[in-house]
Amino acid sequence: MNHDLKALGRKELEKLLADVKKALLSAQARDRRDARKAAERAAAEFGFSLNELNSEEPTKVKKVKAPKKPAKPSKPKYADPSDPSKTWTGKGRQPNWYRESIANGIDPATLEI
């Protein structure tokens, strides 16, 4: 069945589309029915029914992980000698005041709190 779609009008195309959708649904139902019959035959070869196989198959349950504890803020390890409110934990990027102090020859041990 070969249609020249360009020669058809809008109503004819809509009817053709509806017919195609209906045919597609019936083909899917037929394929589903055939697949079920094939599965039943395969299960019967081993002495089972599909219901037996489906009911005995336990579903895998994912393990629930314990929620992570919130990270504790690190205690400051170093303080700026000119402004003690500026502190650094010693982790992550070095603050400018720390780098400048080291560049000026100050021993890091003297900056420790």
What is the tens place of the pLDDT at every residue in 33-92? 999 999 999 999 999 888 888 776 566 778 888 888 898 888 999 999 888 899 999 999
Do β-strands 87-88 and 78-79 pair in parallel, antiparallel, or remain unpaired? antiparallel
Q: Give the pTM.
A: 0.41
Given a contact cutoff of 8 angstroms between Cβ atoms, the answer to whether 19 and 27 are in contact is no
Give dist(CA 54, CA 61) in Å, integer. 16
